[in-house]
Structure 1
Amino acid sequence: MAQRAAPEAVAGTSLDGTQPAYIYKVVLLGNTSVGKSSLAYRYVKNDFKESLPTMGCSFLTQTLCLEATTVRLEIWDTAGQEKYHSVCHLYYRGAHAALLVYDITSKESLSRAKLWLQELEKEFLHDEIVIALVGNKTDLAAERKVAAEEGEEFAKSKSLLYMETSAKSNHQVNEVFTAVAQELVAREGRKAAARHPAPPDLQEPRGPGPRCCGL
């Protein structure tokens, strides 16, 4: 049972007032050295840098325009060291999405990502948060220890988004954040449809149902 629900997205309109806009909190979770900070930095700054371990949490923002919506992602990059584990829930509280990042050259990092998923499942119901499993460091394919199929099958079994990336070579970094944003906006549409269902077709026959001709 979830203890706290994810908050509603902050909604408004774009600066020119022509389309809806949303603000979403996205957290990056995973072992130390899997490349969380590098992924966030590559996405926001379009650059790569080897990062020292994050101390506590760092914060970046990025705005992207989808077909008819502007989305602002507030990206929280959490520390992966075990000593920070007890306080990480303070950073992902109220998140709308989470990227569970592992290193494709480390099976242990995938196991750790699975544990993070268990933590999120204690905090959120399934439809309250968008979760993506991200296998990072595809530039080190020669050292791969986790097959893409293994990550993909686990993600499918848990109904997670899945993608492999490389912050260093900029492989599918934009794509994974865009996929998360698109799913968040799609959920807004489904929630709106549930709140305001379409009126029934007035031409639809009423009563027990259609009768066969001649009866």
Structure 2
Amino acid sequence: MAVREVKVCLLGESGVGKSSIVLRFVNDSFKPALESTIGASFMTKRLDVDGVSYQFQIWDTAGQEKATFRTVKDWVRELKRNCTTDLVLAIAGNKSDLNDLREVRVREAEEYAQSIGAHFIETSALSAINVPQLFKAIAEELPPEDSISVRPGSTVHLRRHDENKETQTSCCGSKKSR
């Protein structure tokens, strides 16, 4: 069976559980005191969906401030403005096990996801709820390989909206001139 490589980049604010989702998906484990990601980390996992084998290359980026759902819209705008290839967007409402601390109503998140053509899935890396389903949904939404128009070596550069236009943040958080 041929293996289809899929690049996934997890974006979001610090503390929302991006690293925990990756750890749950790749190793089926959870660490309650996971240290914050510095720069980015990279892990892979193979998943078979409907007779196709997908090799997920998962980039877990370092979060910035802690503002969660409010900044998802900024991330999506930046992706759509800068990405020249086909995108599959999925929004994970992580920490669904903490329902009593909920800040975003499920309906609000679902409506936003629908408005941008994204999947919304509530997950819990702690209790392993819907984590594999998140990646399965991504795989099922991918366009056929023969319809993908990717330029070899193309890169998407993301920056925060409030970032000074004269500087660019490197992957490790330091500023450098453009």
State the TM-score bracket (shorter-chain normalisation): 0.7 to 0.9
Partner Cα separation in structure 2 for residue 147 and residue 155 of structure 1: 13
Percent identity between matched residues is: 39
Aligned counterparts of 2:78 and 2:20: Cα–Cα separation in 1: 23
CA distance in structure 1 between the partners assigned to 2:145 and 2:24 by the alignment = 29
Deviation at 1:20, TM superposition (A): 2.9
Query: How does 1:1-215 map onto structure 2 within 5 Å?
Result: 19-50=1-32, 51-81=34-64, 108-124=67-83, 128-184=86-142, 187-188=143-144, 191=147
TM-score, with structure 2 as normaliser = 0.78
Work out which of the two has the higher radius of gyration on C-alpha atoms and give 1 or 2: 1
Residue correspondences, number: 147
Bigger helix share? 1
Instruction: Give the TM-score taking structure 1 as reference length.
Output: 0.65
Q: Deviation of residue 172 (structure 1)?
A: 0.3
1:28–1:78 CA contact under 8 A, matched in 2: yes
Once residues 72 and 110 of structure 1 are traced to their aligned partners in structure 2, the CA distance between those partners, rounded to angstroms, is: 28
Query: RMSD of the alignment, in Å?
Result: 1.7
The C-alpha deviation readout for 1:119-157, integer Å capped at 9, x for no partner, is 1011125x7110101111001001111100000000011
Contact 1:137 1:167 in 2 (8 A): yes
- Which position in structure 2 is the counterpart of 1:16? none
Q: Structure 2 stretches of 5 or more lacking a match?
A: 149-178
Which residue identity is paired with 2:46? T
Q: 1:152–1:162: 8 Å Cα contact kept in structure 2? A: yes
Q: Tell me which stretches of 4 or more aligned residues in structure 1 moved more than 6 Å.
A: none
CA contact (8 A) 1:20 1:68 kept: no
SS at 1:180 equivalent: helix
